[in-house]
Amino acid sequence: MPLPLGLQLYSLREAAAKDFPAVLEKVAAMGYAGVEFAGLHNLKAADAARIVRDLGMVCVSAHMSCPDKDNVNQVVDDAKALGIGYLVTGGWIDHYKDADSIKAYAAKVEAGAELVAPYGLKVGIHNHWCEFDHLVDGKLPHAIFMSLTKKAFAQLDIYWAKFGGTDPAAYLATLAGRVPLLHVKDGTLEKNEKGGPCTPHTAVGAGKIDTAAAVEAAEKAGTKWLLVELDNCATDMEQAVRDSASFLIGKGLAAGACGCGCSCS
């Protein structure tokens, strides 16, 4: 059976800021089986979770601050209200620039993971390209981070890994058992004069990412959910999100809300 398909709701953040319940209804109608939160847009966590469940979807995970001694109670309360088990955070360029920076960031995330572990929660990191576009002591910064942690998991973003110069399918083989969530993203891979992204993303299947190879590798690595995320898009974002679901479900790469891996949702 294909892996279930969810949507990182950051993709539809502009529409969600205006009418979050309406956005959730549209996501369910597109055939997505679950959602990953990126803010609640003035809804209470319990109310957002109820709407998602009533629409026949699953609350999979949420992007939020790394748990620490100051915010752990709020983080745990929100996670329980949402009914999620995965909390996702992430670093930026300065966190991965050298060995000391990576070590410090790994210690922070691992400490957060240890804080929430007694509550049945897991903490992971979402990557961008800065974890894959250079080597530190001959190793990828992302790989060093993973080697320094035991409880933290990876939410691998396949577009940003490829943009940074790493083949996501090959790298997934090194993350077996530690990559429960996969971010599925597509685009042109074009860079600007500073080496950063210069063009918007595309609907999954319309860009240059070998999504099928990455999904196959993710299945072998023990991934539980595929999550579409588009940071921005040159075309209508809602249509791109819909087209991404149609592509992944229609090609048999993911299972939609009906659970059968078809496009009947």
Cα-to-chain-centroid distance, residue 174: 18
Higher pLDDT, 192 or 64: 64
pLDDT of residue 184: 98
| Span 255-262, average pLDDT | 67
pLDDT tens, residue by residue, 181-230: 999 999 999 988 777 787 789 999 999 999 999 999 999 999 999 999 99
Banded pLDDT at 264 (limits 50, 70, 90) = very low
pLDDT tens, residue by residue, 121-170: 999 999 999 999 999 999 999 999 999 999 999 999 999 999 999 999 99
pLDDT of residue 259: 56
Residue-wise over 194-207: b if at least 16 C-beta within 10 A, else e? eeebeeebbbbbbb
Among 23-32, 42-51, 181-190, 256-265, the minimum mean pLDDT is found in 256-265
Q: What share of the chain is helix, strand, coil (3-state, %, to 5)?
A: 45, 20, 40
CATH number of 3-255: 3.20.20.150
| Span 6-34, average pLDDT | 98
Taking CA 35 as the corner, what is the angle to CA 216 and CA 55, rounded to the nearest 5 degrees? 120
Q: In a 3-state reduction of DSSP, which class is residue 107?
A: helix
The two tokens of residue 61 are 């995970």
pLDDT tens, residue by residue, 96-114: 999 999 999 999 999 999 9
pLDDT of residue 191: 87
Domain ranges for the chain, please list them. Answer: 3-255
Percentage of residues of the chain with pLDDT beyond 70: 97
